[in-house]
Amino acid sequence: MFPLMLFAAAYGVGPGMLLGAAYGFLRYMSGGWFVHPVQFLMDYPLAFALIGLTGLYVHLPKAWRSWSLYLCMVLGALGHAASTTRPVPAIADMGAGTDLMVLEGMYGDDVKLPQALKNHHMLFREAAALAAQAGAGQLLLTHFSNSLETPVDFLEQAQAVFPQTVLGEDLFTLSLNYQQERA
């Protein structure tokens, strides 16, 4: 994704978003899947097109650049999301102390580890371990495999590692409490 960011910085937001959308489409063509057309748009072309917004930073007046970085840091402090990735220590490092981590839970059962490795996804238990490492307040699991008919059947596996784990579902809402209220 770094090359997409550099391209956007060099050529601007429009070309950066166009290249990002094209890259997202190519990612889909190289083995992606979706359940609903809206999911396709959000997971592939739109998600990667938004990387093109990196081009804004270069073109902002210098006085606004610090504010834009500040805004990103504030938003990052509120929550940290990672989807479509294997667990890596950087996820826990970036989410350290956050109130809410939103991570994928593609596979619930530990026997799906070979498939998770092959497809670059996480098990419930692996996502929970990252949240525990990060010292997060809560973990919201999303992005379930369509082969996972009832994710709630595997929730206990994640809660055994990180008890503050919940599952996302349609129309799900969640209230966050500030760090000092968690103790």
More confident call, 179 vs 174: 174
Which pLDDT score is estimated for 77? 43
- Asked if residue 7 has pLDDT above 80, the reply is yes
Q: Are residues 9 and 86 in the same domain?
A: no
Q: Are residues 32 and 89 in the same domain?
A: no
More confident call, 70 vs 21: 21
Query: Contact at 8 Å (CB) between 70 and 32?
Result: no
66-75, 103-112, 164-173: range with lowest mean pLDDT: 66-75
Q: Is residue 81 part of a domain?
A: yes
Q: Are residues 32 and 104 in the same domain?
A: no
Q: Is residue 67 part of a domain?
A: no
- Asked if residue 157 has pLDDT above 90, the reply is yes
- Domain of residue 4: give its range: 1-59
DSSP assignment letter at 10: H
- Asked if residue 84 has pLDDT above 80, the reply is no
Q: Is residue 66 part of a domain?
A: no
Q: Are residues 128 and 164 in the same domain?
A: yes
User: Among residues 145, 77, 143, which one has the least CA distance to residue 109?
Assistant: 145
Q: Is residue 145 part of a domain?
A: yes
pLDDT tens figures, 23-56: 989 988 887 777 678 778 887 888 888 888 777 7
DSSP assignment letter at 32: -
Domain boundary among 29, 59, 89: 59
Q: Are residues 81 and 37 in the same domain?
A: no
Three-state SS at 65:
helix
Identity of the amino acid at 114: P
Q: Are residues 114 and 181 in the same domain?
A: yes
Q: Are residues 91 and 164 in the same domain?
A: yes
Q: Are residues 89 and 41 in the same domain?
A: no
Q: Are residues 113 and 164 in the same domain?
A: yes
- Asked if residue 73 has pLDDT above 70, the reply is no
For the beta sheet containing 100-104, the strands, ordered from the edge strand earlier in sequence to the opposite edge, are: 80-82, 100-104, 138-142, 165-167
Q: Is residue 174 part of a domain?
A: yes
* Structural domain total, the chain: 2
Could you tell me the CATH number of the domain that includes residue 146?
3.60.15.10
pLDDT-derived band at 168, boundaries 50, 70, 90: confident
Residues 6+ apart with CB under 8 A from 26: none
Which pLDDT score is estimated for 71? 58
Please report where in the chains the tokens 């990103």 appear, as a residue.
72
Q: Are residues 174 and 108 in the same domain?
A: yes
Query: Contact at 8 Å (CB) between 8 and 51?
Result: yes
Q: Are residues 25 and 93 in the same domain?
A: no
Q: Is residue 141 part of a domain?
A: yes
pLDDT tens figures, 50-72: 888 777 776 677 666 656 555 55
Q: Are residues 81 and 156 in the same domain?
A: yes
